[in-house]
Amino acid sequence: MMVSQFKKRFKKSHMPKYGSLNKGFDEREIAAFFRVVDNPKFHLLFSYRAQLGLRIGEVVRTNIKDVKLESRELVVRTEKAMTLDALLIPAPLFKETLDYIETDSGSIGEGAGLPFLQGKRQEQDSRAVSGSELRTQRF
């Protein structure tokens, strides 16, 4: 009798922890998202996430030196395993990357080679919203 009570008490739930919520975008949602992203830096950042499956921290820590121009590879320091991994960058994304490097080399230089890190010039130009302002806005 004790065994059956134990099994009943510690039985695993078949319901997923967060329900059946799909956290990924489908193709239609990705296309709609990219239609509204007009900042080239953010477009490139989210393209790396969508096309290469990188985590946000992996993309933000990407350095220009990590892009191998000869082989179109990106060397990534993975967040979870803390290992190096090389990923082939698709041709359209590679062209977009080269265009971004060429046009925004000044801000990349200010970010010590990190293309997605905000430089001093960008911080002054951006209209940042504080957390308290964001909480008071209605969407």
Task: Give 65-95 pLDDT, tens digit per residue.
Answer: 888 989 999 998 877 777 888 899 999 999 9
Cβ neighbors of 138 (< 8 A, separation 6 or more) are: none
Cα separation, 43 vs 31, in Å, equals 11
How confident is the model at residue 83, as a pLDDT?
Answer: 82
Both tokens assigned to 64: 């220009």
Query: Residue 123: is its pLDDT beyond 70?
Result: no
Higher pLDDT, 94 or 126: 94
> Looking at 25-29, 96-100, 112-116, which range is the least confident one?
112-116
Higher pLDDT, 138 or 73: 73
- Calculate the average pLDDT of the chain: 75
Mean pLDDT for 33-46 is: 89
Using alpha carbons, list the distances in angstroms from residue 126 to 85, 119, 120, 123, 129. 33, 11, 10, 5, 9
DSSP 8-class letter at 84: E
Is the pTM value of this prediction over 0.75? no
How confident is the model at residue 132, as a pLDDT?
Answer: 43
Q: Which of 24-28, 69-73, 117-121 has the highest mean pLDDT?
A: 69-73
